[in-house]
Amino acid sequence: MLLCDLNCDMGEGIGNDELIMPYITSANIACGYHAGDEETIRQTILLAQKYKVNIGAHPSFLDKENFGRTEIKNSPQEVYELVSKQIHLLQKIAENNNAALHHIKPHGALYNMAAKDKLLAQAIAKAVNDCDKNLILFGLSNSFLIIEANAIKLKTASEVFADRTYQDDGSLTPRSQPNALIENTDKAIQQVLMMTKHGKVKTISGKEIAIVSDTICIHGDGKNAVEFAKAISGLLHAKAQRK
């Protein structure tokens, strides 16, 4: 058993899903709003079943043009509705293939905005809870997504990132800024070790901040995604065996 869950965004048309799937434990499946469609959802669910990987919905702003990575000023009610629609779609396709949803992880700009915006976080937590109170909400460690989900007694998994750098406030460095991405495997491994072993991460300013690592994310569209998946999976298995 892995010491920590390892998740990856899937069904986004990158083409490497089956190469990554054997090394992860949770798949966040695009719901058609930033990438994918009903057929890619079905195919990704079948792939997750093949490798015994947890199936999660990866809801986003409706923004395929920008891959869901551009901020959109939706109201909390609009966010509630768009997240609910995407969860219901994944639930329906999963049920039609004798599968069940395990978790929900917002995507891109929606994820980052809700991490800092209490009302958006509340809307997402309520949407998840109303769809199925047994689902787990993945959210940035120490963010409003975790705080507001815990407030309504929704199950949560505090998420950390192997392939992203951090700001001093615990947020991810925006992709528009230099050094936002970690593209070196050794650096990614060192960051994962620090987060899982010591409960800390070093920010881009050199400061060490506390972090909770229930699940580790790698991005499937990263140029070294497959290599990262293999290396981090091997690290987590090795640590689990030493326990």
Residues 88-98 as b/e (b if ≥16 CB within 10 A, e otherwise) read ebbbebbeebe
For β-strands 155-161 and 103-104, DSSP reports them as: unpaired
Q: What is the mean pLDDT of residues 41-47?
A: 98
pLDDT, one tens digit per residue, over 117-167 is 999 999 999 999 999 999 999 999 999 999 999 999 999 999 999 999 999
- What tokens appear for 197 in the block? 């072993």
Query: Side chain identity at 236, as an amino acid letter?
Result: L
Instruction: Give the dihedral of Cα atoms 144, 149, 155, 160; nearest 10 deg.
Output: -10
Asked if the model's pLDDT at residue 70 lies above 60, the reply is yes
β-bridge mates for residue 30, sequence order: 58
* Interval 98-120: pLDDT, tens: 999 999 999 999 999 999 999 99
Tens-place pLDDT, residues 194-226: 999 999 999 999 999 999 999 999 999 988 999
- What gap in Å lies between CA 239 and CA 99, rounded to an integer? 30
- Residue 162 is classified by DSSP as S
240 has a pLDDT exceeding 90: no
Looking at residue 124, its pLDDT comes to 98
Residue type, 151: A
Q: Which of 101, 152, 102, 100 is nearest to 124 (CA)?
A: 152
Q: Residue 184's domain is classified under what CATH number? A: 3.20.20.370
Domain count, the chain: 1
**Residue 67's domain spans which residues?**
5-242
From residue 211, give the alpha-carbon distance in Å to each of 99, 137, 181, 194: 32, 17, 18, 10
Q: What percent of the chain has pLDDT over 90?
A: 94
Cα–Cα distance between 14 and 221 in angstroms, integer?
6
pLDDT at res. 143: 98
Q: How confident is the model at residue 238 (pLDDT cuts 50, 70, 90)?
A: confident
Residue range 79-88: mean pLDDT, rounded: 98
Which residue blocks in the chain are alpha helix, DSSP H?
17-20, 38-50, 76-96, 108-116, 118-131, 144-151, 185-198, 225-242
